[in-house]
Amino acid sequence: MDKIISTAIVLDRDNIDTDQIIPAKFLKSTNKEGFGDWLFYNWRYDENDNSKDDFEFLKYQKESKILIAGNNFGCGSSREHAAWAIADYGIEVVISSQFADIFKGNALNNGIVPITVSEACLKALMQYFEREKSCPIEIDIEEQTLMVDAKDIFINVQFDIDPLKKKFILTGMTEIEYLVQHQEDVINFEKTHEL
Amino acid sequence: MGRTIIDKIWDVHVVKSVTDEVDMLYIDRHFIHEVTSPQAFSGLKEKGLNVLRPERVTAVADHNVPTKNQHLPIENELSKKQVDTLLSNCKDHSIELFGIGHEKNGIVHVVGPENGLTQPGMTIVCGDSHTSTHGAFGAIAFGIGTSQVEQVLASQCLLLSRPKTMKVEVNGKLGAGVGAKDVVLYIISKLGTEGATGHFVEYAGDVFSNFSMEERMTVCNMSIEMGARGGLVGIDDTTINYVIERATISTEKQEFWKTLNSDSDAKYDQTITFQAEEIHPMVTTGTSPDTGVDIMETVSSSVRNSKKGLDYMGLKNDQPMLGTKIDYVFIGSCTNSRIEDLRAVAGIVEGHRKPEGVTVWIVPGSNKVKDQAIDEGLDKIFLEAGFEFREPGCSACLAMNDDKIPSGALCISTSNRNFEGRQGDGARTVLASPITAAASAIKGKITDPRTYLN
Ligand code: SF4
C-alpha cells in the first residue's frame, strides 16, 4: 500500500472518543471481526437498531476510504476495537489536527494511516468535502503527501509519519515480526537488567 | 544538564535504539484483563509464538464481572466466554491469574499496587488506558492496544517513540474537603483533554509529596484524560514504605530507586504550575472530563462545554451545579475505590440516610479493599445509609456488566469518564470526588461535601 485515492467522509466533531467509535457493549467479542457494523453505534442507530438518517456520517459514499474528523480523534480508552471497527468499515486513512497517542499506535498496527494536518488545513478540507462528496483525495505514503486537485481547490501538504512505521506500512512488515526477530537483543539485555 | 525521572527510567529500559525517534523498550510488568487480551492470544497462536516471560505477566478478570453473587456462574454468555477465555489462556501459558472470587481479585489498577507487583522504576503496561495509575510509584506506566499486548507477550518489548516530558506542579495547601480527585479534575479542566498529548507528566510540588500513595494513584489514573501517555510522581519514603509493606526489596534496590528521581535542574518540554488554594471541590458539567467546575459555580464557568454535550446532560449554561437533582451515585472504579476512599465516604454518610428514589452503589476496587472495609465496619454504615455495598469490579465505570445507569438518569460518579453512554446508553455522568458523591447521595442532589465536615 503506497497510494490511497478515495472520496472522503467528514465528521466535524472534536474529541471523538473511543467509546463513541465503539461502545463498551461491543467489547465482549473474543475475535477481531465484524466491528464495522457497530462503528459509531450510538450516533448511527436508535434504541431499536434502526439507522438514524440524520447522522451526517451516513450521507457520504459508503465506499470512502478516508475519514476527516475533528481535533483529538480517538481519545479515551485504549480499546483497539476502535481501530478494528474503522478498518472493518473500510476506512484506511483518518485525517485530523490531532490524534490521541494510543489510538494512533492502534491505527498503525491495523493498517490505518493517521494523518495530522494543521487546524487551518483541516478546516479547509472539512468545508470542501462537506459539499463535494464525490471528489477524491490522493494520499501518497511514500512521498508523505496529501493532495486535492479539483476545480475550485488545490491542496498539497506534506505530513509526518515515523520512518519506521512508514517502512512497516510500505513493506507490510509488522511490529511483532520485528520484535521477535530481535529476541537475542532482549535476552542479552535481561542479563544486566535488574528491575 | 539534569534529567527527569521519565528520561532516567526510559533510558534504563532501552534494549536498542531503532531510529532517531523509536526505541525498542523493555517492559518489566504486564497486566492483562479479559477484554483486551483474547485477540492477542489468538494472534500468538496464529503466528506460532509463545509467551516469552510469563512470570512478568499477571492477569485479572475485572471489566465484565458481576458485582453481585460472584460465587455463581456469570449469566451473560459473552461475558462468561471472555472470562473463561482468559482462564484457559493463562493456564496454557502459565500466567498467574487472579480470577473471580480469588482473594487478590479486583480492578487491575487496584490489584497491582496493593499486592506489591507495581514497583518504582519499572516500565508497566496493560491493555487499558488507566494503566497510568501505576505511575504513582515513580514508574513509566501506560495503556496499550491489543496488538501491543500481543507484542509484549511475545517479546517483552515495544517499539515506542521517546516521550516528551511535562511537569505539572501544584504548590500550597489544599483546603478542607478538597482532595486528590478535585486536584486532577482541576488540572484537566485547565489543560483540556488533549493538553498533554504526546507527553509523560511528572506531578511535582508540595501537594503531591504530601499525598498518600492512594491519593497519588487517583491523580496519575486520570493523566490519560488530558491526553498524556502517562503520569507519575517521584519516589520518596511514602512510596518506598508502601512497597516494602507488600514486597521484599533489598536496601540496594531501594537506594537505586531514589537515584531515579528528577535532578533539580532537569529540563522538561513543558512546565505548568498551579496553586493549591485555588482548587475547590470539582464536578464535571459536560461529556468530557475537562468540563469540571468549582462546585459553587454555574455550568458556564467551564469554557470546554459544547452545546451538544450540555444537551446530552440536560444542563443549561446559567444553571448552578449545586442542587442539581441526581438519580444514581456510583462510588467505585480504579480512580476512587480504595480503602481511603471508602473511609472518607463512610465519614460523611455515617448516621445519614439517602432519600428514596436515589440508588447508590459502592463497588470496592478489590476483594482486599472489600474485606478491609468489612473489618472496619464500613459496610454497616453504607447499609444503614441505604447504599448497596457490592463485590469488586469495574462495574458502572464502563457498564459492561449489568451495572448500567438507565437512559436519561443523572449519576454522580467517582469514576474517570463522563463520555456519552459510558455508564449505559443515554446515561448522564457527573464526575466528582468520593466525598462529594457521598454528600450528594445523602441529599439526592449535588451537594458541597464541606457542609458535612466539622
Ligand atoms: S474501573 Fe473503569 S477505568 Fe478503571 S480499568 Fe475498569 S473500566 Fe477502566
CATH code of the domain covering residue B208: 3.40.1060.10
pLDDT block averages, 10 residues each, chain A of length 195 = 92 95 93 94 91 92 96 95 97 97 95 96 96 95 96 93 93 96 97 88
- How does pLDDT run across B43-98, given as a tens digit for each residue? 999 999 999 999 999 999 999 999 999 999 999 999 999 999 999 999 999 999 99
Residue B57 shares a structural domain with residue B136: yes
Residue B214 shares a structural domain with residue B228: yes
Residue B154 shares a structural domain with residue B206: no
Determine, yes or no, domain membership for B294: no
Give the atom of ligand 1 at the shortest distance from the alpha carbon of B398: 7
Beta carbons of B227 and A75 less than 8 Å apart:
yes
Q: How far is A19 from chain B (nearest CA, A)?
A: 7
Determine, yes or no, domain membership for B145: yes
Determine, yes or no, domain membership for B292: no
- B402-407 own/partner pairs: CB under 8 Å, 24+ apart: B402/B66, B402/B68, B402/B76, B403/B67, B403/B330, B403/B361, B403/B363, B405/B327, B405/B328, B405/B330, B405/B429, B406/B327, B407/A47
Beta carbons of A179 and B157 less than 8 Å apart:
yes
Answer yes or no: is the ipTM higher than 0.90. yes
| The pLDDT of residue A40 | 96
Residue B266 shares a structural domain with residue B149: no
Which of B416, B423, B431 most suits a substitution to test ligand 1, by most atoms within 8 Å of the C-beta?
Answer: B416
Residue B157 shares a structural domain with residue B38: yes
| The pLDDT of residue B131 | 98
Determine, yes or no, domain membership for B358: yes
| The pLDDT of residue A142 | 96
| The pLDDT of residue B168 | 98
Q: Among the three residues B129, B161, B193, which one is the final residue of a domain in this structure?
A: B161
Domain count, chain B: 3
Residue B150 shares a structural domain with residue B172: no
Report how far ligand 1's centroid is from the alpha carbon of B336 (Å).
10
Q: Among the three residues B161, B192, B227, which one is the final residue of a domain in this structure?
A: B161
Residue B154 shares a structural domain with residue B187: no
Q: Among the three residues B278, B310, B335, which one is the final residue of a domain in this structure?
A: B278
- Which structural domain range is residue B386 located in? 299-448
Residue B204 shares a structural domain with residue B351: no
Beta carbons of B419 and A185 less than 8 Å apart:
no
Residue B157 shares a structural domain with residue B194: no
Determine, yes or no, domain membership for B284: no
Determine, yes or no, domain membership for B182: yes
| The pLDDT of residue A2 | 86
Residue B372 shares a structural domain with residue B435: yes
Residue B153 shares a structural domain with residue B17: yes
Determine, yes or no, domain membership for B241: yes
Residue B332 shares a structural domain with residue B227: no
- Residue of the CA atom closest to atom 2 of ligand 1: B397
| The pLDDT of residue A1 | 65
Please list the ranges in chain B whose pLDDT falls under 70: none
| Shortest CA distance from B225: residue in chain A | A76
| The pLDDT of residue A195 | 78
Beta carbons of B227 and A72 less than 8 Å apart:
yes
Determine, yes or no, domain membership for B376: yes
CATH code of the domain covering residue B135: 3.30.499.10
| The pLDDT of residue A151 | 83
Q: Is B253 on the interface with A (CB under 8 A)?
A: yes
- Write down the pTM of the prediction: 0.96
List the domains of chain A with CATH numbers.
Answer: 3-160 (3.20.19.10), 162-195 (no CATH)
